[in-house]
Amino acid sequence: MDISQKTIGLLIDYLDGNTSQATLGGVLKRHNLGDADPGPDDSKFSNMSKARRADKALTAALKSRKEPELLDLAATALREQEDDPASPEWVRELLTSLRADGFACTATTTVVKPASA
């Protein structure tokens, strides 16, 4: 199964809204997705937004077939929102997008796994 660009975009939204310039690199590295992050300290990229940094890192991960790592990030994003009754719209959109990509997941269990064939 392949993760869609829509799902990647929603993960970018999650990272943009839930990290700072200083913490984004750490979050990406904890999920083994930081290889393509130019980081906030590189002078060439010092004015780059978090969303653009996340886009570069996640797009590179998708091209490198790091699907398990991307799914782990998705599970983390969902888990961080599961107890919040006022979860942002991107949470519902991420669940819908993952399901459309063929993965079984819920906001309460945060288990992201391939759906049964």
Rounded average pLDDT over 41-57 = 79
Residue 98 CB contacts under 8 Å (≥ 6 apart), including other chains: 7, 74, 105, 112
Indicate the pTM of the whole model.
0.84
Q: What is the pLDDT of residues 82-91, one digit of tens each?
A: 666 777 888 8
**Closest among 75, 83, 82, 80 to 7, alpha carbons compared:** 75
Percent of the chain with pLDDT over 90: 50
Domain ranges within the chain, ordered by starting residue: 5-114
